Amino acid sequence: MLAILRCDQQAHPIDIRREVARASGHEPSRGAFYTTLDRLESKGLVRWTTKKGTEGRDGLPQRKFTVTPDGVRALRASRRALLELWTGLDDILAES
């Protein structure tokens, strides 16, 4: 979901996948990537719309993904939890 927000609130799958690869240093397989998007959609965290295909895409429609308000709430909750887990660890994890 963060990759969708980073790309644009109306993100194309190819751009989302590139952002995931850039941020993680690992390119997810197509299957894993689309399975994850489908699961996020079934949970109501993202939604997609289709855009009419162009000649360059042989008329095939193109999906665009958006993070829903529930998805934004889930990201905020996740961020709070992660920040709480990091609290007090700066000295332990500081590089020498």
Digit-coded pLDDT (tens) for 29-68: 999 999 999 999 999 999 999 977 777 767 788 899 999 9
On the question of pLDDT at 16 being above 90, the answer is yes
What are the backbone dihedrals phi and psi of residue 65, each rounded to the nearest 5 degrees, phi first?
Answer: -105, 145
Mean pLDDT, rounded, of the chain: 92
Q: Which residues of 13-47 are buried (b: 16+ CB within 10 A; e: fewer)?
A: bebbbebbeeeeeeeeeeeebeeebeebeeeebbe
As a whole number, mean pLDDT of residues 9-30 equals 93
pTM reported for the whole predicted model = 0.82
On the question of pLDDT at 13 being above 80, the answer is yes
On the question of pLDDT at 91 being above 90, the answer is no
* Percentage of the chain modeled with pLDDT above 90: 73
Residues in the chain: 96
8, two tokens? 């644009």
Domains annotated on the chain, with CATH: 2-93 (1.10.10.10)
